Amino acid sequence: MKKFILIGMFMVLLAKVACGQEQLSIKQQADRLFDRYEYFKSLKFYLKLADKKNPDVKLLERIATCYRYINHYPEAEEWYAKALTDPKAEKLSHYFYAEVLLRNQQFEKAKQQYQLYFTEDAGALALKIADCDSAMVWMKKASLYKVNNAGNINTPFSDWGASYDGKNGIIFTSDRETGDDKTDNRTGNGWFKLYTYDLSSKETREMALDAGNSAEFKDAYHVGPMALNGAGDTAYITLTTEIAAKKLPIDKRMGKNGQRLYTRRLQLVMAVKRNDRWVISGSFPYNNVQQYSIGNAALSGDGKLIYFSSDMPGSVGKTDLWYCEKNADGSWDKPVNCGKNINSKEEESFPFIDETGVLYYASKGLPGMGGYEIYAARGQKADWDIPKNLEYPINSTSDDFNFITRDGQSGYLSSNRDKGQGSDDIYAFTRLKETITTTPIAELPKPVPTATSPDFSVRMIYYDLDKSFIRPDAAVELDKLADVLKQYPALKITLASYCDSRASYKYNLALSQRRAKSALAYLIKKGITPVRMTANGYSETNLVNKCANQVKCTETDHQLNRRTEVKIVLDRE
């Protein structure tokens, strides 16, 4: 189950003399397992207790939490709904219920639950509402990509984390059955191990790792993913640390029944290929499993930069992207944070650098559709452009991560979206021929356009009902637009703002004009001179769908009409 690897937290029971488990009640057994984060095992006990009449709300919340952590989202939705019928339910349950509803594409219900939770944080609420609206809009748009389940690779278990292995293979990690009877009690599945897949023969094989002279690798816990250098002879592998428990600090968190827990964090190890075998050659110099995790690495094309995810001191959020630069002697210089353009207050992970130097990575903290989403950004080290959300179907309302590509036209990603074969699957994507006129900002050509160049159009921005403020998702698009206008001084824009059909024409005219002025003011604050922009409101004219006066429409359909269209044109004077 990838969530524990993403955040680098792996909780294990530190042995303590206690009464035998047969002397404990069912609830005590369940609680002990839950405190150890063994959700798969604790769920069985909690479900037995739930068969009784009038189960306690705390029990219902625990069942919902277990289902959420083992990626059983329909069941999690059902049990959160049951728990929240009780007025004694925790306020936090509204948030997790909303997250599950968003993941299950119950957008209006998700908005309601977010509103019940974010009663004192308007900014956070606006971001979550924007996620719901973006998901509704993007899933209806024409797409430049086709995404298919890579069926031959995947199993009913968790398969993810692909990396290229030469021209004809990929390496990935999986917790599929191996026959060794080793089980992760959080998921009920095995430990993650590395596998190779031959794209020609369609054959999958488990990858054997030789510990070499390393005392840090015993293949006892999770292994993967793996990042290779350009030559394919050196790799950086993410491991759940296997350091002796006595060398790990005890967590501050203590279970109610006195259990002592410690954290097995992530670390990177280096490996070299010798006679077609991978041999562990050492530990990444900045590992510190007593204090923080380092994992999920990527190398630049020339091998001089390594990017990775970590929660080390100095992080902007829960986990950030960091980089190290290779010194002349081959050692790695000290880690540097990739900066606030890349990192958010939430989690960032799974970097990948393509052949043109574009960074792809997964984030939970930027506007999008919810969950981990894949973004692209140009730059290097700590100097990056504003990241671009790759939108649907690259992203979904589920967790989407570990995007790899050689040329930007095809590649692989990992996702736990619906209709897969397991809890996480590997998906292949291909870029389709241009079928829409919108050109993604990240792909605009660098040279200044001439007067013979075609006009450019960028995606529209959206507003809340009866509001004109710039939402977080709209701010991201306007930031990108401002960057383009700064790059191309010859360009001018028009901003055309609209309303949905509800309310009178006169009222909507004033509202649409406020929306146009709001977008204009935002761009002026970003340094764009007013003479390069024209902004007007057009009331409820130019509807994009059938939702005219007296026509019954969903809120999703009305959202499409609450918009500002941005047209980028050349100055032909």
Q: What is the pLDDT of residues 297-309, one digit of tens each?
A: 999 999 999 999 9
- Looking at residue 142, its pLDDT comes to 81
How far does CA 62 lie from the centroid of its chain?
25
- Looking at residue 131, its pLDDT comes to 87
Q: What is the mean pLDDT of residues 116-120?
A: 94
Q: What is the mean pLDDT of residues 108-129?
A: 90
- Looking at residue 3, its pLDDT comes to 45
The beta strand positions in 175-233, using DSSP E, are: 193-198, 204-206, 209-210, 223-228
Cα 256–Cα 114–Cα 88 angle in degrees, nearest 5: 40
Q: How confident is the model at residue 100 (pLDDT cuts 50, 70, 90)?
A: very high
For residues 261 and 250, the answer to whether their CB atoms sit within 8 Å is yes
Strands 533-537 and 491-498, how do they pair? parallel
- pLDDT of 446 strictly over 70: no
496: Cα within 13 Å, side-chain hemisphere: 14
Token output for 341: 């353009």
- Of 469 and 5, the structure prediction assigns the larger pLDDT to 469
- Looking at residue 573, its pLDDT comes to 37
Out of 37-46, 408-417, 472-481, pick the least confident.
472-481
Helix axes 26-35, 39-50, angle to 10 degrees: 150
Q: How confident is the model at residue 117 (pLDDT cuts 50, 70, 90)?
A: very high
- pLDDT of 439 strictly over 50: no
- Looking at residue 141, its pLDDT comes to 83
H or E element that contains 252: strand 250-254
- Looking at residue 23, its pLDDT comes to 65
- pLDDT of 369 strictly over 70: yes
- Of 438 and 120, the structure prediction assigns the larger pLDDT to 120
Max Cα separation, the chain?
Answer: 87
Domain boundaries defined on the chain = 2-138, 145-431, 441-570
Q: What is the mean pLDDT of residues 36-48?
A: 93
Domain 145-431: give its CATH code.
2.115.10.20
- Looking at residue 13, its pLDDT comes to 38
CATH 3.30.70.20 for domain 2-138: no
- pLDDT of 7 strictly over 60: no
- Looking at residue 66, its pLDDT comes to 97
3-class DSSP assignment, residue 505: helix
Tens-place pLDDT, residues 457-504: 467 899 999 999 999 889 988 988 888 888 777 778 899 999 999 999
- Looking at residue 444, its pLDDT comes to 38
H or E element that contains 555: helix 555-559
Quote the percentage of the chain above a pLDDT of 70.
Answer: 89
For residues 160 and 172, the answer to whether their CB atoms sit within 8 Å is yes
- Of 449 and 140, the structure prediction assigns the larger pLDDT to 140
**Whole-Å CA distances, 470 to 10, 59, 330, 463, 515:** 40, 41, 48, 7, 8
- Looking at residue 358, its pLDDT comes to 94
Are 2-138 and 145-431 the same fold in CATH? no
- Looking at residue 126, its pLDDT comes to 79
Q: What is the mean pLDDT of residues 367-385?
A: 92
- Of 60 and 275, the structure prediction assigns the larger pLDDT to 60
**Whole-Å CA distances, 158 to 71, 148, 569:** 10, 17, 47
- Looking at residue 517, its pLDDT comes to 92
Q: What is the C-alpha to C-alpha distance for residues 82 and 76, in angstroms, rounded to an integer? A: 10
Q: How confident is the model at residue 27 (pLDDT cuts 50, 70, 90)?
A: very high
CB within 8 Å of 67: residues ≥ 6 apart:
43, 73, 75, 76, 79
- pLDDT of 113 strictly over 90: yes
Look up the pTM and report it.
Answer: 0.77
For residues 184 and 475, the answer to whether their CB atoms sit within 8 Å is no
Tens-place pLDDT, residues 128-181: 888 898 898 889 888 889 999 998 999 999 999 999 999 999 999 999 988 877
Tens-place pLDDT, residues 197-256: 999 999 999 998 999 888 778 888 899 999 999 999 999 999 998 888 888 888 765 555
- pLDDT of 91 strictly over 60: yes
Report the DSSP beta bridge partners of residue 319. Answer: 347
Q: What is the mean pLDDT of residues 56-75?
A: 96
Average pLDDT, the chain: 87
- Looking at residue 489, its pLDDT comes to 76
Domain 441-570: give its CATH code.
3.30.1330.60
Q: How confident is the model at residue 102 (pLDDT cuts 50, 70, 90)?
A: very high
Q: What is the C-alpha to C-alpha distance for residues 3 and 184, in angstroms, rounded to an integer? A: 13
- Looking at residue 18, its pLDDT comes to 39
